[in-house]
Structure 1
Amino acid sequence: MIRKIKSISNLGVFKGFEWDTEVREENGKTTPFQDINVIYGRNYSGKTTLSRIIRALETGVLSDKYENPSFSITLDDNSQVTQAALKNHTKTIRVFNEDFIRDNLRFIVNPDENIESFAILGDDNNKIEQEIAELELELGSNEIANETGLYAQLSSAKTASGIASQQHQSAKDALETQLSSKATDKKIGIKYKSERFGDQNYTIQKLKGDISLVQATDYHPPSEEQLTQYEKLILETALQPIPHFTAPNTKFQSLAAQTEVLVTKKISESNKIEELVKNAVLHRWVNEGRAHHKDKFNQCLFCDSTISADRWAVLDKHFDEESNQLEKNIDALIVQIEDEKKSISSALSIDKNLFYSKYHQELSDLDISLKEAIKNYTQSLDLLIFQLTYRKENILSSRTFEAPVEATDHLLSIWDNYKALCEKSDGYTTMLARDQKSAKDKLRLKEVSDYLITIEYDKQQSTIVELQGKSTESIQAVSQINAKVLEKTNEIASKKRELNDEEKGAIKVNEYLNNFFGHRFLKLKAEQEQGEGAKRVRFEVIRDNKKAHHLSEGECSLLAFCYFLAKLDDIATRDTKPVIWIDDPISSLDGNHIFFIYSLLNTEIVSTKKFSQLFISTHNLDFLKYLKRLGGKYSDNDGKLKDYQKGYFVVARKDRISTIAIMPKYLKEFVTEFNYLFQQIHKCASIESVDDTNYVIFYNFSNNARKFFEIYLYYKYPDQGMNEGTLRLFFGEDKIPAVLIDRINNEYSHLAGVFERGATPVEVPEMQSAAKLIIERLKQDSEQYSSLLKSIGATEAPAVQEATLAEKLGAE
């Protein structure tokens, strides 16, 4: 059931309606819709707008002519249906309103159009019905929790598919969670270790890309040595240019050549002391002693003997200038060689801190080679020194020169390699960022590779693939059973189409027209269109065996309503117990037809219990009187008979805005317009102050008063009705009140002779004074006045303020 129209905004005259605020009883309790609902409202109050809201639930479409419309409908299970989800319900709904007529009886708008046909159950043989029964048995029941046949198989397959799909999804979600954590978790996520892995915008999608890389056949994890190198590289900062190294000029060949000259140089043996020539040690000892005594002592400090001049002469001849010069040359050359050793040893000192870490290993190897080369070079120089020292100790004896191993080329090669490394390191500054990125990429891929091993990625993937296969199989099983269900459903529909008979739909409409309205001039006729393909049937309106044209409004109304009622028995609606909404079905009908419409409603809908909920709206008070009689009983789930519950509501318009409210007692229990008009006059007389909630009573007072007098005075003076004379008779000999009432009736109601009145505000005191005069006059017939008060639920009338009236008339 529809419990309430919870809210409506921007739909026709509804601009912010809220059910829980507006539809309340006197005690404040909210009243919902009932089994049968009667809705009264004057023309243009918004009844059709309500029917269009409900019809949107039937068709799934709301007119696009509304700007930003919204509504919410509460169903019996407390679910909500809104304009955003019109099919969010399982109700079968059928609405009769002008849109239904326009869509189904297009000939009313265009005489060349026909009426949409519909089919009801035909009279074909029992064989087809038996076939349908067998197919329906095979198809089974689709009742939730009680499925049978193919529906039971489908339900079981869907359950299995749901479980398989859930298991597959759970496995995927578990892996996805692990991958997401590795990508973006603050503790272990690669994203938050950009200084190591190089991407502060790392995402799970990028991680999946890296997984593809590390799982490729050509991926090989880096070695520990490579990882160490990458770790150092990512910590590198740009270095300053390395100080320029200038290699010294080596003198080895020159020194060797000089050594060879001095070592092999021969000394003349004339005037030499033979003993000293033969004994190099003694020769060295005497030469040293000579140096200590020359020009210092005349006595030998060893033996204390006198050194004679002749002896000095012999010694000077032995130690002549040539040998002395040779010694000096040897000493000088040894000094040069020692300087060369120092120069070469200190020429290059390798500092790894000046180089990028990627060159450190080469530098280490180069340093070892440098030390080895310096050692070899020094050893070659030492061999020169050794030969020179030996010659000096044996100054008088020349010897064969022993050429050392040439170590210069190796040393020069090392220096050249060092220069090349300097250039490479300096040049590497421009490529550092690129290589650091590459190193971080390799470290990241290694991290991803290790993580996959930790979480057993391959095993999880295999499980997911396996579960996906099972899920796919279960979906295919559901699809196969669905196909069988669809096949059987189509077969049943096909069989039922063989039973459907559009002619019977037309006959049903004609029965309503003839039996209830006695309208034997119009009827519907089912005509089969010629053409290829499926059978196509259309309805035509026939008068005197010819297609009818120029139907009156009343005929159109009758035909449309009979068509709607007959259509409730079509294949799509039969046995569904729909929610039925009927909007003002008696437009342009006379009194007899109004009663027949009521009879048709009561007989064909209420008595047959064809509905789950019924709504009927009207603007006609006579029809409202009949609708009060609608009623009946239905069987509940326990088989007990219960009365249909009825609800009474009004749609009231105030200026440009409408609302829904509970029907007042005078309309619900005493349904005549006379009661209503009296109630409006009584309200006008009773109001103490004017506000937004009651100004409409004054605005409508002139029309209400005029109609009240038309009815009242007609029954009191049936030969005259309402005129100036009967108004005077109503008010007595005092002509002033009658003139005042006549002014209100004509000037304010019809603007007769005073057109400018329509452009001026309504004068409230004048209206209320007139209302009080009317009430005071009605009091004179106490029995009628008391009955009128009871019919509107009032207990007493307001007092007449004569002074106010006199002041008002004086002002006029």
Structure 2
Amino acid sequence: MINQIDIASFGSFSGLEWKKTVRDRGKNVQNFKRLNIIYGRNYSGKTTLSRVFRALEIRKTPLSYHNPSFTIYGEKGNVTHATIPAHNYDVRVYNRDFVTDNLGFLVNQVDGEIKTFAIVGEQNKEIDDAISAIETRLGSVEGKCGLRYELETKKKERDRTETSHSTASNSLEEKLRSHANNEIKKNREYGSPVYNIGSIKSDIAATKKPDFVTLTIDEQAAKLALLKQEALPDITGTLEIQLNFDSLRSAAEPLLSKEITPTKPIQELLNDSVLQLWVKQGIGHHRKKRDTCAFCRQALPDNIWQVLDSHFSKESGDLEAALDAAILTVNNEINAIADFNSFKRDQFYTEERSAFDTSSAALSHALGVYKKDLEALKKALEDRKSNLFQVISLKDSIHDDKTIQKHVDAINALISTSNSKTKTLEKDKTAARNALRLANVYTFSQAINHDDEIVKINNLKTDMDGARTTYDEAEKEIRESESAVSALRAKQKDESKGADRVNSLLSHFFGHDGIKLEAKDNLDQTTVKFEIIRDGKSAYNLSEGECSLIAFCYFIAKLEDPDSMGKELIIYIDDPISSLDGNHIFFIFSLIESLIAKPIKNPDGSNAYRYKQLFISTHNLDFLKYLKRLSIPKKKITAGEGKQKSVDDNEHFMIERNGASSNILLMPSYLKDYITEFHYLFHQIYKCKDPENAHINYEPFFGFGNNLRKFLEAFLFFKYPYHDNRNDAFERIKKFFGEEEDTAIALVNRLNNEFSHLEAVPDRGFKPVEIPEISKVANYVLDKIYAADQDQYNALLKSIGEPERTS
């Protein structure tokens, strides 16, 4: 079915947005229903609207409409002016264009012709059985059987899988879109002002590559620091460390291993190296300076210097001097170690600082080992000096020249890298941003279980594709079956039966035997044409009423041709009333009711309808009155606790034209709810019987005077159709209210002088309405009508939807 229609530009319609205009009093949007009654005055836009539906039928827009633009929303997909050639709706439209296209003779009786059509001819049992078998197999949705019902089930499964896939896909897409916009695009650290859902999908794919490794926390911190890094000056020079241990050891070893002996050794000193050192140091404090011992104050022996010089020979003095020189050289090497590496971490870019700290610490450790070797060498020299006559052996060194040089090379490489960073800093920052962004995306994708969601969505897509394929195959099978039915029916086509059907409708519904349609062969008997015949002769100068009757009967009959039979038709009937009298208007209604609107009973007692959707538009209020009596289709809806109930599936609309633009609205209640003005007036009076109703709707109370006067005039005119008194209305009121003449006269006076006129009592227009008094009068009149004729009163109550009165 078709649900809504937006018309941006088409004829008198401009800027029509259904959801803005077609709303009930509760501001709820209302759709087209199965049965739709449309009222509009002449030139309001009814025919223009029918032409939108006619465009669906013939699959093209009228050539006379410039730049048409509209969208039709329905259960078989939306259709726009651009996609009109391809849609899935079966539409049949009766309007002025249908008459022009098919019954040109009625428009131009000189050159026009009437197109022939065929309906099923004589019965052929074999073909009928084949058609019946296919139709049984096709079944129906309403009958809950056959391929059509199964297709509905498959459609629901297709829709369910599409919804499930769409929901899961949209949910993931929304997560990706939100993260891309809020966490990446707005984060200046990532520098991605143009970043969207496509970008984050690409980044997620990048994190799936084998060579991707996400950043550690420390690496992220380093990347962030790099983004803040400004260009540094180049580091001048390189690290060069010249180790002298080997030469120092080579110079020390002869001194440590050289053996010397005193000329006349003093055994006591030889036995005690500390004492020997103490004596040797004492020589410098006493020779040529003192005659007494500075320690014991005793006079020095005369031969003390000869004895000591015999012990401490010139050879030992030379060795001591050589040892002092060696110790000084080693000590200088030890002191130089602290200045070997003068580079600082702040001289390097952020990304090199960690490596510099590592290499610098490793170098310091290696140099510490080197320093220990130097200190061991120094210690050996000092020990030999302390005991010149004792040979000392050196231990093997433990430092590694190659390790130290490796760390030196590493630091020099960092210097080179850092110096080159100035040229590549911006490029490095871009790489850092990319790495940080990918790390963020990776963490996010893990948090939302992206891979699992993709697997889930792919599985749902597989289900959806399967359901779609199943539905398409079932739909194809139905189309093929329907084509087979059409082909079988084509074998029974008989153009003469089309003319006979039109004539049957003219005769049966309108009693019109004066004119009829005949199918005649052309001269070579190869084709058939329709002619309108009156009294056995070709008819011309048809009245407008006759043209309307023939055209509408032709349309109804054509619904039985093979192209329409068995299809779920959307039927649009535009204003079939033109120059017809009251009887013919009723017959048109009867034709629509009996052949289109009235349901057919299924074997299980349920209703089947001969149309998928029905639209009827009119400008004629009498015809509108009849249309309110059409059989109203029902549909089942789910009520409370999962129970189903049947509700009416119809709606009433109105087309209005304001200036140059037409609009579609819900039909107002005064047109929709009342068959005649008489019923409307009775309802307004009935609303005034209870004064509390004024709190809900005060309008009936303000219009009470006019409504009551007009109602009584109509009611009493038909009750007492003739009086010879000049004031017939007054006399009818007196007669109806009987013996209560004074009350009746008082009532009339109030009606004429106060309730229905302000001219005689203008001050009443400036006073509040007397609600209790109005209710009293309303109840008085209603009680009188009930007392006079209970059946009529209850019939009036029924017409306005109120329960019968029993007392």
TM-score range relative to shorter protein: 0.5 to 0.7
Partner Cα separation in structure 1 for residue 443 and residue 8 of structure 2: 60
* Contact 1:53/1:62 (<8 A) preserved: no
Question: 1:567 is aligned with what amino acid?
Answer: Y
2:151 is aligned to 154
Question: 1:116 is aligned with what amino acid?
Answer: K
* Contact 1:12/1:66 (<8 A) preserved: no
Question: 1:293 is aligned with what amino acid?
Answer: H
Partner Cα separation in structure 2 for residue 83 and residue 400 of structure 1: 111
Partner Cα separation in structure 2 for residue 93 and residue 367 of structure 1: 92
2:384 is aligned to 390
Mapping of residues 230-379 of structure 1, within 5 Å = 230-237=219-226, 238=229, 240=232, 244=237, 246-247=239-240, 249-252=242-245, 255-256=248-249, 258-259=251-252, 274-275=265-266, 279=270, 281=273, 284-301=277-294, 306-307=299-300, 327-348=320-341, 352=345, 355=348, 356=350, 360=354, 363-364=357-358, 367-379=361-373
SS across alignment from 2:225: coil
Q: Describe the superposition over 1:607-643 as per-residue Cα deviations: whole angstroms up to 9, x where unpaired.
A: 656676987879xxxxx9xx99x999978679xxxxx
Change in CA separation of 1:616 and 1:657 when aligned onto 2, cut-off 3 Å: closer
1:481 is aligned to 474
Partner Cα separation in structure 2 for residue 138 and residue 384 of structure 1: 113
Question: 1:390 is aligned with what amino acid?
Answer: R
| Stretch deviating more after TM superposition (433-442 or 61-70) | 61-70
* Contact 1:233/1:436 (<8 A) preserved: no
* Contact 2:103/2:114 (<8 A) preserved: yes
Question: 2:135 is aligned with what amino acid?
Answer: E
* Contact 1:263/1:387 (<8 A) preserved: yes
1:525 paired with 2:520, answer yes
Structure number with larger C-alpha Rg: 1
1:502 paired with 2:495, answer yes
Deviation at 1:372, TM superposition (A): 3.0
SS across alignment from 1:568: helix
Deviation at 1:324, TM superposition (A): 5.1
* Contact 2:103/2:113 (<8 A) preserved: yes
Deviation at 1:194, TM superposition (A): 7.1
Q: Describe the superposition over 1:348-397 as per-residue Cα deviations: whole angstroms up to 9, x where unpaired.
A: 26755655456635743553354234433542464255236515642xx6
Mapping of residues 387-786 of structure 1, within 5 Å = 387=381, 390-391=384-385, 393-394=387-388, 405=397, 409-410=401-402, 411-428=404-421, 430=425, 432-437=428-433, 439-440=435-436, 443-444=439-440, 446-448=442-444, 450-451=446-447, 455=449, 457-458=451-452, 464-506=457-499, 525-527=520-522, 538-539=529-530, 554=541, 561=548, 564-572=551-559, 580-581=573-574, 601=584, 605=588, 608=591
Question: 1:289 is aligned with what amino acid?
Answer: G
1:104 is aligned to 102
Deviation at 1:572, TM superposition (A): 1.8
Partner Cα separation in structure 2 for residue 485 and residue 155 of structure 1: 12
Change in CA separation of 1:53 and 1:259 when aligned onto 2, cut-off 3 Å: closer
SS across alignment from 1:154: helix
Deviation at 1:466, TM superposition (A): 4.8
Question: 2:101 is aligned with what amino acid?
Answer: D
Change in CA separation of 1:519 and 1:52 when aligned onto 2, cut-off 3 Å: same
1:140 is aligned to 139
Change in CA separation of 1:600 and 1:416 when aligned onto 2, cut-off 3 Å: same
Q: Given the two structures, how large is their TM-score scaled by the length of structure 1?
A: 0.53
Q: Describe the superposition over 1:191-212 as per-residue Cα deviations: whole angstroms up to 9, x where unpaired.
A: 67775x7867665544544554
CA RMSD of aligned residues (A): 6.6
Partner Cα separation in structure 1 for residue 216 and residue 480 of structure 2: 65
Partner Cα separation in structure 1 for residue 70 and residue 399 of structure 2: 102
Deviation at 1:135, TM superposition (A): 3.5
Q: Describe the superposition over 1:565-615 as per-residue Cα deviations: whole angstroms up to 9, x where unpaired.
A: 4413433268999664458967xxxxxxxxxx7599469735656676987
| Stretch deviating more after TM superposition (152-161 or 298-307) | 298-307
Identity of aligned residues (%): 22
SS across alignment from 1:235: helix
Change in CA separation of 1:343 and 1:403 when aligned onto 2, cut-off 3 Å: same
**Residue in structure 2 matching 1:51, options 38, 47, 51:** 47
* Contact 1:47/1:617 (<8 A) preserved: no
Partner Cα separation in structure 2 for residue 634 and residue 48 of structure 1: 24
Change in CA separation of 1:599 and 1:538 when aligned onto 2, cut-off 3 Å: farther
Partner Cα separation in structure 1 for residue 630 and residue 360 of structure 2: 107
* Contact 2:115/2:529 (<8 A) preserved: yes
Partner Cα separation in structure 2 for residue 338 and residue 250 of structure 1: 13
Partner Cα separation in structure 2 for residue 478 and residue 402 of structure 1: 97
* Contact 1:232/1:357 (<8 A) preserved: no
SS across alignment from 1:525: strand
Q: Given the two structures, how large is their TM-score scaled by the length of structure 2?
A: 0.54
Q: Describe the superposition over 1:637-665 as per-residue Cα deviations: whole angstroms up to 9, x where unpaired.
A: 79xxxxxxxx9x9999999999x9999xx
* Contact 2:520/2:530 (<8 A) preserved: yes
Change in CA separation of 1:399 and 1:96 when aligned onto 2, cut-off 3 Å: closer
Change in CA separation of 1:247 and 1:129 when aligned onto 2, cut-off 3 Å: closer
SS across alignment from 2:557: coil
Question: 1:424 is aligned with what amino acid?
Answer: T
Change in CA separation of 1:386 and 1:170 when aligned onto 2, cut-off 3 Å: same
| Stretch deviating more after TM superposition (559-568 or 497-506) | 559-568
Partner Cα separation in structure 1 for residue 372 and residue 223 of structure 2: 41
Deviation at 1:342, TM superposition (A): 0.8
* Contact 1:529/1:537 (<8 A) preserved: no
Partner Cα separation in structure 2 for residue 338 and residue 565 of structure 1: 127
Question: 1:138 is aligned with what amino acid?
Answer: R
Specify every segment of 5 or more residues in structure 1 that has no aligned partner in the other structure, as ranges: 21-33, 41-45, 74-80, 587-596, 619-623, 639-646, 669-785, 787-794, 796-812
Change in CA separation of 1:440 and 1:340 when aligned onto 2, cut-off 3 Å: same
Partner Cα separation in structure 2 for residue 542 and residue 59 of structure 1: 32
Partner Cα separation in structure 1 for residue 212 and residue 657 of structure 2: 82
For these two proteins, the number of residue pairs brought into alignment is: 586
Change in CA separation of 1:564 and 1:543 when aligned onto 2, cut-off 3 Å: closer
Partner Cα separation in structure 1 for residue 489 and residue 533 of structure 2: 29
Deviation at 1:341, TM superposition (A): 0.8
Question: 1:344 is aligned with what amino acid?
Answer: I
Change in CA separation of 1:88 and 1:53 when aligned onto 2, cut-off 3 Å: farther
Specify every segment of 5 or more residues in structure 2 that has no aligned partner in the other structure, as ranges: 22-34, 73-78, 598-614, 634-651, 677-726, 728-751, 753-807
2:696 is aligned to none
Partner Cα separation in structure 1 for residue 586 and residue 468 of structure 2: 50
Question: 1:122 is aligned with what amino acid?
Answer: G
2:604 is aligned to none
Change in CA separation of 1:300 and 1:467 when aligned onto 2, cut-off 3 Å: closer
Partner Cα separation in structure 2 for residue 261 and residue 71 of structure 1: 112
| Stretch deviating more after TM superposition (368-377 or 401-410) | 401-410
Partner Cα separation in structure 2 for residue 351 and residue 386 of structure 1: 35
